[in-house]
Structure 1
Amino acid sequence: MNNQTIEKLRSLRLGAMARLHLEHVQQNRFGEMTCDEYLSLLTDHQWEDRENAKIDRLLKQAAFRQNASVADISYSGDRNLDRNMFARLATLDFISRKENIIVCGASGTGKSYLCQALGHQACMTGTRTLYAVTARIFKKLRLSKVDGTYLKELEKLTKVDLLILDDFGLQAFDIQDRETLMDIIDDRHAKRSTIISSQIPVSAWYEVIGGEGTIADAILDRIVNSSHRIDLKGQSLRKGILKQE
């Protein structure tokens, strides 16, 4: 009967429950548990297994470059990173409010790590997240216009609950990049949250986007006005790592 039960659990795709039940049968570890307690034990085990699988899937789909963690963030005085403010952001309330985050700072100050730490935190709570280098996502969307999949690729970006655009503004924008950025931001505005990191200060973004002023104004209005701002300071963290090595 136990073998039949285990096979039925497996056929119902309740593999974790089946494995735990098999362990208890083989080792006779039922103890003094009531039927309700044992059922609760099996159910909790299956639920935790599926949640862990979901998190693993979200982390893989997010395509992070670093295994960043909120717990490992440095708040040294010269970074200009307020612990209380970042802790509030790490609760991810900004996602439920459909707000954005802008992280600026010189190369090596840890912008990407901060963004990915928040992204990792989002995945842990079941939030669909995607990390992308801005120039690469533009290139991918440019190619999608050639093969006719542009709207499909754009829809994928729209459905992601948290989109992280890293290294924003490192390359000059042409007319296609401006239109692509406008499409991304406009589709996500007041619907989803976006985190943008850049070496370029926000005050210079208008010139970076370039082109007709109307498009730049529309983009910045949708990004900046609904964003939390982090301006990192200090020396490159990479230099510190090299010195330690």
Structure 2
Amino acid sequence: MQNINQQVNNQLSNLKLSGIRDALLQQYEQPNLYVEQSFEERLSLLLEHEITQRDQRKIDRLTRQAKFRVGGTLAQLNYGAARQLDKTQIRSLAQGEWLRLHQNILITGATGCGKTYLACALGQNHCQQGSSVYYFRLKELLEKMFLAQADGSYRKLINKLSSANLLILDDWGIRAINSSTTQ
């Protein structure tokens, strides 16, 4: 931080205000852009940068936590006639009223038609809105639950899953489930 004095830099670091530190450095590097702004205007810009950076870190954390199988986005959905996707319905799902009402959705279709992509795109969309999401292939989740029962962490896993705003279960019904994984 070449132009921020060490004391201010340390204080911003101790307070975990890296967004303000970065924005302050930018103001030092480009002083002509800010010369006619009042103290309050410059402070507001610093605070806005901090808020934006924190929001982005939250989205990044929620996205990593979800562990999506594919990096789908709703903007990249293919609405070709063969896909039979209704833009209005997708837009409605993206708004998340169903999620706020604690409703479920079931995405069905032939193998390879894009169900996983659509589920991950919806999940990514809800991460961007600040919702916590977990993505699991059903077989992997059942195995994880079985192992959690064995090692005593089952309750912790269930609490983690139930705290999520959205739980995506993929590949439901692809393989037969044996009796040991359902208990």
TM-score, normalising length from structure 2? Answer: 0.91
Q: Return the match for 2:18 from 1, 15, 20.
A: 15
Q: Match for residue 238 of structure 1?
A: none
- Farther off after superposition, 15-24 or 110-119: 15-24
Q: Between the two structures, name the one with larger relative contact order (CA 8 Å, sep ≥ 6).
A: 1
* Structure with greater strand percent: 1
Structure 2 distance, partners of 1:79, 1:26, is 51
The answer on 1:129 being equivalent to 2:99 is no
Q: Give the 5 Å matches for 1:1-245.
A: 3=5, 4-29=7-32, 30-179=34-183
- After TM superposition, give the deviation of residue 176 of structure 1 in Å: 4.2
CA RMSD of the aligned region, Å?
1.7
Structure 2 distance, partners of 1:160, 1:176, is 26
Structure 2 distance, partners of 1:58, 1:142, is 25
Structure 1 distance, partners of 2:148, 2:86, is 40
Q: Which amino acid in the other structure matches residue 143 of structure 1?
A: L
TM-score, normalising length from structure 1? Answer: 0.69
How many corresponding residue pairs? 179
- After TM superposition, give the deviation of residue 112 of structure 1 in Å: 0.3
- After TM superposition, give the deviation of residue 11 of structure 1 in Å: 1.5
SS in 2 for 1:165: strand
Tell me, yes or no, if the aligned pair for 1:6 and 1:21 is still in contact at 8 Å. no
Structure 2 distance, partners of 1:131, 1:118, is 11
Structure 2 distance, partners of 1:74, 1:175, is 39
Structure 1 distance, partners of 2:44, 2:141, is 45
Unmatched tracts of structure 2, length 5 or more = none
Structure 2 distance, partners of 1:103, 1:88, is 14
